[in-house]
Amino acid sequence: MLRSVKGLKDILPQQTPQWQHIETVARTLATQYGFSEIRIPIFEFTELYARSIGGTTDIVEKEMYTFLDRDGSSLTLRPEGTAGVVRAVLEHKLLDSPTTRKLFYLGPMFRHERPQAGRYRQFHQFGVEALGIDHPLIDVEVMALLCQFFSSLGLEDLTLHINSIGTLNDREVYIHKLKEFLSPILKTLCGNCQRRHSTNPLRILDCKVPVCQETTQQTPILIDYLSDNSRTHFQAVLDGLSALDIAYTINHRLVRGLDYYSRTTFEITSPHLGAQSTIGAGGRYDSLFQVLHGPSTPAIGFAVGLERVTLLLAEDQTTKKSPLFFVAGFGDTGKPKAFTLLYKIRQAGMRADTDHKGNTLKALLRSADKLGADYSIIVGDNEADSNTAILRNMQTKVQEIVNLEEITQRIQKK
């Protein structure tokens, strides 16, 4: 049997109402907060991601779906949204208009990871990007939107973790201190962390190995090494969150994985998800524009993993649909008349269906029942001859005879 590719999921008809709901909430809220939707390509030149995400990150090193185009250029399925948005913004000079500096997107991303609960090779993200605004209150706005998105969906028990990883300079100073502190006790750390010490020392902070957690209790704290600017900014963000009554936890270990982050970083976690507990995360990326040869532009954004959101949502997200009319036509004259009627009802904007195979009233009503019809419209030869139809309420079994010409008008009110 042909199967789907590993790590890819079909979203089946039972689940699409839930997805539509999530997407509607995302679009509505983002719009309320002043963001406009942008739709960018699903693949880009590999260079874009290599440069923006960072050459030593796992994403770039081993998780990208990269392939050669016919002319030999290297293309990559987007592993995240920010890089593409920034590219599009630069390409179309969107920074020049105040109406196109706050953008949001919705769509699939691709990473070649080993699938796991809440982690897929094609997954969907809802993300926002606020560009060109340095003010700490935009950080607060973005986090407020993120929190409101989750609460609108009815998610509970979530924690907003926040930290500041400072500017590149701040971090250099800190990383130096950190390595200095860890050097003498390096042997006590796990093998992974011993390696990280030289490659990516910040990551040691969020190592889950107990020994490492223990020893890193005593390490210098990043926010103690922030420059005055970064520190003031961070404090203003925290004050802003408090002013809005948004609960947060300062998490000194929160260091984002992508190279382009700076200063404010945040993450929302749920205790109900197993190992992949982060459902949304983001932060500032003030230097990304320059990395991509654009003008120096402060920016902040977040991305939400939609599959993880669906895992937290109640299964029975039954969305109310408009009533379904089942047209039950049978007999030599009834059947054709019913088919025209079916078309007319649909043209009038109502939801209607039939069963072409059913030739007896019994079989047709059974089909109506299985399709979950609210009303059946019965057109047998008798009805066809008198130009009428029987309108049957499937729940109450109440029936009435309606003239064929008036039927669409008659049921419009149902």
| Shortest Cβ 408–RNA spacing (Å) | 19
Cα distances from 315 to residues 238, 273, 309, 311, 312, in angstroms, run 35, 15, 12, 8, 9
Stretch that binds RNA, among 87-95, 133-141, 238-246, 304-312 (CB under 7 A): 304-312
Among 93, 176, 366, 414, binds RNA (CB under 7 A): 366
Can you point out the beta strands (E) in 200-277? Answer: 249-250, 262-269
Segment 80-139, which members bind RNA (CB under 7 A)? 80, 111, 113-120, 123, 125
Check residue 23 for interaction with RNA (CB under 7 A). no
| Shortest Cβ 149–RNA spacing (Å) | 12
Check residue 258 for interaction with RNA (CB under 7 A). yes
Check residue 20 for interaction with RNA (CB under 7 A). no
Question: Residues 32-71 vs RNA: string with x where CB under 7 A?
Answer: -------------------------xxx---x--------
Q: Compute the residue count for the chain.
A: 414
- The CA distance from 79 to 123, in Å, is 9
Cβ distance to RNA smaller for residue 26 or 258? 258
Check residue 161 for interaction with RNA (CB under 7 A). no
Among 305, 310, 325, 345, binds RNA (CB under 7 A): 305
Q: Residues interacting with RNA, by CB under 7 A?
A: 3, 6-7, 57-59, 63, 80, 111, 113-120, 123, 125, 192, 196, 203, 207-209, 256-258, 267, 274-281, 303-305, 307-308, 331, 360-363, 365-366, 368-370, 378, 380-383, 390, 392, 394-395, 397, 399
